[in-house]
Structure 1
Amino acid sequence: MSSVISADGTAIAYSRTGQGPAVILVDGAMCFRRMGPSQPLAAQLSDRYTVYTYDRRGRGESGDTAPYSVEREVEDLDALIKEAGGEVYLYGISSGAVLACEAAARLGGIRRLAVYEPPFVVDDTYAPRPDDYLDKMDAMIAQGRRGDAVATFMKTVGMPGFLVGVFRLTPNWPKLKRVAHTLPYDFRVLGDTGSGRPLPRGRWAGAQLPALVMDGGKSPQYLRNGARALAGVLPNAEHRTLPGQTHLLKPQAVAPVLKQWFV
């Protein structure tokens, strides 16, 4: 295992594969190097790039220094950018897309940005998250109700209750419970972007670099609307729909697009 030390002293574990310009992949909620889309995507990109995958703080083999703040996660990416030579391409998916935007707005050294389906709710095509959602999630974690937190999250993103019940019986459930305490981290990254209101125009004003915002042609309408909304508020963004894709994006579908964009 390789690791870098973030500004607050937290060890952030990462893996590196391939040769060429550096690309950092940023995972979404509950994903980490051993569970999620980053490793398969890294394999697709490693013929052209040096690809860095990492465990966001609190997950996998990374540390988790309290108290949490979004700024600390941005500092984690800053440490990785420096480890990668100071100049990288950055790709984020789902809530990791929002973290990637935060980093692009605050840090130097990012040449180009690409993101896929940030989980925004910007209109009436999906129920907004309740104002007390994060408070309730914090309470479940504090009470040791990790399974309930995972189940609540799954229902929030649209999984039917009976499927959540089935999922509790799968081998992945204990793995998800181990990282359940990081769910409030993701919702702090998202902020009020699930309110059903338009995105704040100035939030990522510092992200002046070229950005590509993607969605899937078979994804729910609210996710597609959120992606278009993000492309509209980023200072220098393009929007693209990947035909046939859903929020469970296939690495072989996005890898060719990233290879065209990261030039």
Structure 2
Amino acid sequence: MDKQTISRDGTPIAYRRTGQGPTVVLVSGAMSTGATVAPLAPHLVDRFSVIAYDRRGRGESGDTAPYAVAREVEDIGALIEAAGGDAALYGISSGGALALEAAASGLPVRQVAVYETPFADFGGGAEERAEYTANLTEALAQGRRGDAVELFLRLTGLAENMIAGARQSPLWAGMEAIAPSLAYDNAVMGDGLVPRDRLGSITVPVLAVAGGLSPRWLREATKAVAQAAPTGTYRALDGQTHMVDPSALAPVLAEFFTT
């Protein structure tokens, strides 16, 4: 990241801006930084000014206690202000839930596109989310960052042997470093269910996209987001999973953001 803006509570937010045209802010999901969504930018920069940023508590951005989802919304607001006063948002996974909340909060947002917001209405439901929340809170309070990462990976459905393998990966240290931010994404997801009333207050167009090869519950959750938004549209990308190929996603986003 080569630029920085200051959020309302004084937290520095690091970002990189590339391209020219209407601004699009990319919002990463859990266990991610701006570098995770940055590969999407080259596919959009010929038509848009693209901002990839490190959410608070990770990467090169700062953090200020106590955490609240509203502070992350203010972070997006600071980025929009630095970019000239309005923007479209794209968020993936729990970052999509944050982007939707930012739009519902009244920020100057033109459009919102999300990819596979993992609301659990059609999966494990609120009980699984509540158990995860309790275990995650305990692990982080006790400083067991590795256990917190394991809890998250298990929540995503990763097999136990793959979790064990991940612990031996050279990437594990980086995952532990941002493990406290798992609590932030958990807060963004609320009770884990589609926030239909909140989505119903969004007045700008919403595009909800899912991968055609993703689990059915994730596709249904994404479709529910589109249905809850007054001007929502659902799209499925053939051959894609939660690890979406930027070259497959970008044309869909470009078409939507140009409309």
Q: TM-score range by the shorter chain?
A: over 0.9
Report the count of equivalent residues. 256
Structure 1 match to 2:150: 151
Contact persistence 1:126–1:222 (CA under 8 A)? no
| Aligned: 1:233 with 2:234 | no
3-state DSSP class of the match of 1:131? helix
Q: CA deviation at 1:206?
A: 2.6
Query: Is it true that 1:170 corresponds to 2:169 in the alignment?
Result: yes
Paired AA for residue 226 in structure 2 = A
- Which secondary structure state, in structure 1, belongs to the residue aligned with residue 34 of structure 2? coil
Structure 1: 5+ residue runs without aligned partners? none
Instruction: For 2:84 and 2:230, locate their aligned partners in 1 and report how far apart those are by CA, in whole Å.
Output: 26
The structure with more helix, counted as a fraction of residues: 2
1:89-238 equivalences under 5 Å are 89-123=88-122, 125-126=123-124, 128=126, 129-194=128-193, 199-238=194-233
Post-superposition shift, 1:204? 2.2
CA positional deviation for 1:33: 2.3
2:212 maps to a residue whose letter is G
- Say which SS state the counterpart of residue 12 (structure 1) adopts: strand
1:15 counterpart residue number: 16
Structure 1 CA distance for aligned equivalents of residues 63 and 157 of structure 2: 29
1:59 aligns with 2:58: yes
Q: Deviations over 1:105-135 (max 9, x none)?
A: 0123211111000011113x44652424223
Cα drift, residue 46 of structure 1: 1.1
> TM-score, normalized by length of structure 2?
0.96
RMSD: 1.2
TM-score by length of 1: 0.94
Percent identity reads: 48
2:237 alignment partner in structure 1:
242
For the residue of structure 1 that corresponds to 2:198, the secondary structure is coil
Check the 8 A contact 1:78/1:107 in 2, yes or no: no
Asked if the contact 2:27/2:34 (under 8 Å) is kept, the reply is: no
Over 3 Å counting, the alpha-carbon distance change for 1:159 and 1:80 in structure 2 is same
> Structure 2, unaligned stretches of length 5 or more?
none
One-letter amino acid matched to 2:27: V
